[in-house]
Structure 1
Amino acid sequence: MSTTTPQRTMVSHPASDSSDFEVGLRPYFAYRDLGLKEATNGGFVAHVIRAVPGKQADPEWHTHNTSFQIVFVLRGWIDFEFEDIGVSRLTAGSICYFPSGVRHQVLANSDDFEQLEIVSPANFETHDAEKP
Structure 2
Amino acid sequence: MSNTKDWAFSHDLATAAKWTPGLREIFEYRDLGIKDGTKGDYVAHLIRHNGKKTKDEVQQWHVHDCTFQLVYVLNGWATFEYAGQGQKTIRKGDCINQIPGIAHREIACSEDFEVFEIVAPANFKTRIVDAPQQQQAAE
- Aligned mates of 1:99, 1:69 — CA distance in 2: 7
Query: Does the aligned pair in 2 maintain the 1:56–1:109 contact within 8 Å?
Result: no
Gaps of 5+ in 2: 133-139
CA RMSD between the two structures = 1.7
1:13 and 2:13 matched: yes
> Percent sequence identity over matched residues?
38
- Aligned mates of 1:57, 1:117 — CA distance in 2: 21
1:24 — aligned with what? 22
1:115 and 2:115 matched: yes
1:63 — aligned with what? 63
Structure with the higher fraction of residues in helix conformation:
2
Aligned residues: 128
Report 1:61-100 matches (<5 A).
61-100=61-100
CA separation of 1:56 and 1:74: change in aligned 2, threshold 3 A: farther
- SS of match in other structure, 1:55: coil
Moved over 6 A (4+): none
Name the TM-score, length of structure 1 as normaliser: 0.90
State the 1:98 CA deviation. 1.1
- Aligned mates of 2:73, 2:39 — CA distance in 1: 26
Gaps of 5+ in 1: none
Query: Does the aligned pair in 2 maintain the 1:61–1:129 contact within 8 Å?
Result: yes
- Aligned mates of 1:112, 1:67 — CA distance in 2: 28
Name the TM-score, length of structure 2 as normaliser: 0.85
Query: Does the aligned pair in 1 maintain the 2:49–2:111 contact within 8 Å?
Result: yes
State the 1:57 CA deviation. 4.7
Query: Does the aligned pair in 2 maintain the 1:57–1:109 contact within 8 Å?
Result: no
Partner of residue 51 from structure 1, selected from 44, 49, 52? 49
